[in-house]
Amino acid sequence: MKKMRKNAIKLTAALVLGVSLFGVANSTFASDDKHGYSFTIKAAHANNYSGERYRQTKNTNNKWKVALQTSGEGKGTITTFWLDKAGTGRVSNTVNAKQGAGAYYREAFAAANQSYVRLGAENNNYSNNTYTATGYWDEETN
């Protein structure tokens, strides 16, 4: 009985260590990912936001990216995007992404580093219409 208990404790400790190491290894290296988004782009320049992602870098040159793949506004239209930090506001310059043009890569402000950020979006022009925009983004690419 004591031997079984010791083995169970050892197994639990090994499992905890393995999960911890996987978590560290998994969060240590950034890569150029494609995290999908789907927004309702609101009327009158109202903003919409994705869920948050952790931007682990200390380097503002580690660019973030966004691509506008589909737009309910039409083919080749433009939507404005930026990195945002809840409670702080915009932590990058804006990007006017053209539907179908591929990914746009931009630097972030220092306030975006080692913090949770989200993708912000709004119509690039003042309009009373709403539309759906889909694509992908990444909070850091290298």
CA 5 to chain centre: 44
pLDDT per residue over 39-70, tens digit each?
A: 999 999 999 999 999 999 999 999 999 999 99
Q: Rounded to whole angstroms, how far apart are CA atoms 134 and 142?
A: 23
Calculate the average pLDDT of the chain.
Answer: 86
Give dist(CA 115, CA 73) in Å, integer.
32
Residue 30 has pLDDT above 70, yes or no: no
Give SS3 for 4.
Answer: helix
Provide the 8-state DSSP code for 92: B
Give the pLDDT of residue 16: 45
* CATH class for the region spanning 35-138: mainly beta
What is the spatial distance between Cα 14 and Cα 101, in angstroms, rounded to a whole number?
48
Q: How many CA atoms lie within 13 Å of 27's alpha carbon, on the beta-carbon side?
A: 11
Top-ranked range on mean pLDDT: pick from 13-17, 31-35, 106-110: 106-110
Domain boundaries defined on the chain? 1-29, 35-138
